[in-house]
Amino acid sequence: MNLRYPGILASSVVLAVAIAACATSTPQTAGTFFVTSKGGGKGADFGGLEGADKHCQTLAAAAGLGDKTWRAYLSTQASGSTPAVNAKDRIGTGPWRNVNGVIIATNVNELHDNNNITKQTALTEKGTVVAGRGEPGTQHDILTGTQMNGTAFAAGEDKTCGNWTKSGNDGSAIVGHSDRNGNGPPPDGPSWNSSHATKGCSDPGLVSTGGAGYLYCFAAK
């Protein structure tokens, strides 16, 4: 070994260690989008948007993604003097990647126009694939309460299970299909964020149409 240049040797060792660390690091740390691997336990009742955001944040932290601010992709409808909230306005500006580092969309417009959400890319925070249409235990119904352009529905007919506070048979919520597969005519059936309504807001009601109370979570910052 040539020891005439110890400084160069030390630098080479440091560089080699850094390269090895990068090679063995998990791509999950770069994830800024995921589908929740489980529901909240009370059907579509998350205690409102704050509770839904907390659900995203908790699951993200358990997966090593807790250094980001996570938001649930949910809209709420206007009620009394409380204005509606658009899902697209809650999630930051992008870009968003799944936990394997695959680009989902570079910005909000692309997310609602020509995104890369498919069964293979809409992974959970654990990196698992969500069971799609036609598979045992289908769970592709993702709660959104949102129109295809990312905005809230008008006040009136319940599209958000009482703005995410209902867990019984009363009410309904709009869901999207994480696998972009549906039995309705396009664009509604295959829509990732606005495919159809649920049969009630309870866990059994959500399961009956192909869901499990899952959410889309986006890193807002």
The DSSP result for 10-61, as a single string, is HHHHHHHHHHHHHHHS-GGGG--EEE-SS--SSTT-SSHHHHHHHHHHHHHH
* Residues 180-191: tens digit of each pLDDT: 998 888 888 899
**pLDDT given for residue 184 in this prediction:** 82
pTM for the structure as a whole:
0.86
CATH number, domain with residue 193: 3.10.100.10
21 inside domain: no
18 inside domain: no
Domain span including residue 100: 28-219
Number of domains in the chain: 1
* Residues 68-78: tens digit of each pLDDT: 999 999 999 99
Which residue ranges in the chain fall short of pLDDT 70?
1-29
8 inside domain: no
3-state DSSP call for residue 166? coil
